[in-house]
Amino acid sequence: MTPVILVLNAGSSSLKFSLFSAASQDLQLIVRGQAEGLQTSPRFVVKDAAGVVLDEKAWGDGVPLGHGGALEHLVGFLRSRSEGYRLVGVGHRVVHGGLEFSRPAHVSPAVVQALEKYIPLAPLHQPHNLAPIKLLLERMPELPQAACFDTAFHRSMPAVAQAFALPASITERGVVRYGFHGLSYEYIASVLPQIDPPAAAGRTVVLHLGNGASMCALLGGRSVASTMGFTAVDGLPMGTRCGNLDPGVIVYMMDELNMDARAIEKLIYQQSGLLGVSGVSSDMRVLLASAEPGARRAIDLYVYRVGRELGSLAAALGGLDAIVFTAGIGENSAELRERICHDAGWLGLSIDAQVNRGKAQRISAPGSRVGAFVIPTNEELMIARHTRSLLAGAAATA
Ligand code: AMP
């Protein structure tokens, strides 16, 4: 029987999954897919490693299928194809591990209880991340589960990079910079040594530019600074999140616009960023194709803010040897990469415009002092690796 690991990434209205064979040293993807439109118009699709659709189902508008129903459907699908496979564990993406979790953790009721404390720190992610964990604990308590955190990789940041300039009484409550997208950065740090050993050993800024977006300064493969802070709304403008904001704006909105915490939360997480500035869309592809002045304004602001954060992270590193683009925008938009790299010319970076428009991993021009790379991220593989290590550790100590 082939041992397999299931990876789950549960969002507010989706449940993404990947199944990996753990038979050999290299984990091999078997199938991946997602249930999306949960609670509104649920759809399920699963594809093999080559992207061929193996199964699809749409429930239709208004069917109240939630995470539980989606998980049941997924388990049913996996059981129908389980011949020759043995599920040895499930790995979950969990956005917040707080100060407590600096590495992946074996799930237990006590761990779930500890993770529920962080719901106020990641209200749009944490409850959904925990939903399938709790369901599986209830229904299949013997099945080993691993919680893998977006914050854990950044626990290596020096104290000065974690601190806000707030009174100790607030800092002591855990109000510090955590940083997110850690599984993505950890994956990039794990493959960079094969792609460019000097960059891996040196000072590299990774730009995770997706619907959520952040940047991370890596020194010898360890996180030393991140654009994200206490919550995943800090740093760069994102699809719908505002990123960096003068805290005085929040006070102004409360005093002058009579907005309460929930209204402000909705504004800064769901109605700002590319969507809010453009008034057109949160989707970079749509903005790039749009002739609306708002779309241009949103892209200009995005590029400007990436450039400023790059300068800040280069300062935190004391110089820059390489940058790495990853995630949806970073991996796919040659135009955005070109604009960002053009603005970073002062750092000693120049790219080969033609190579940038192709599929190459290295896009910096020969002779550029700073290397530039495009590396597709793979958070699911990182979670599967962690889950396997955790299972192996448990077996070794049993
Ligand atoms: P992710 O969250 O990593 O899936 O990234 C989603 C973002 O990547 C969205 O803003 C998409 O518009 C953007 N994206 C994907 N493909 C492209 C592309 N070819 N050009 C520009 N943006 C893209």
> pLDDT, tens digit, for every residue of 357-368?
999 999 999 999
Cα end-to-end distance, the chain, whole Å: 22
Query: 36, 69 in Cβ contact below 8 A?
Result: no
C-beta of 332 in contact with ligand 1 (< 6 A): yes
Instruction: Write out the catalytic residue numbers.
Output: 150
Half-sphere exposure of 281 (CA within 13 A, CB side): 13
Query: 313, 227 in Cβ contact below 8 A?
Result: yes
Query: CA 388 to CA 66: how far, in whole Å?
Result: 28
Report the Cα 327 to chain-centroid distance in Å: 8
For residue 398, pLDDT beyond 80 = no
Length of the chain: 398
Q: Which of 284, 287, 331 for mutating ligand 1's site (highest number of atoms within 8 Å of CB)?
A: 284
Give me 312's structure tokens: 């800040």
pLDDT band of residue 240 (cuts 50, 70, 90) is: very high
pLDDT band of residue 38 (cuts 50, 70, 90) is: confident
Distance 37 CA to ligand 1 centre (A): 19
Question: Which region among 11-15, 165-169, 255-259 has the lowest average model confidence (pLDDT)?
Answer: 11-15
Q: Which of 329, 331, 336 for mutating ligand 1's site (highest number of atoms within 8 Å of CB)?
A: 329
Q: Calculate mean pLDDT across residues 17-44.
A: 91
- pTM here? 0.94
C-beta of 184 in contact with ligand 1 (< 6 A): no
The overall average pLDDT reported for the chain is: 94
Q: What are phi and psi of 30, to 5 degrees?
A: -100, -60
**In sequence order, which residues have a C-beta less than 8 Å from that of residue 371 and are 6 or more positions away?**
196, 198, 199, 321, 322, 323, 362, 364
C-beta of 70 in contact with ligand 1 (< 6 A): no
C-beta of 328 in contact with ligand 1 (< 6 A): yes
Report the Cα 368 to chain-centroid distance in Å: 29
For residue 142, pLDDT beyond 70 = yes
For residue 277, pLDDT beyond 90 = yes
**Nearest atom (ligand 1) to Cα of 287:** 12
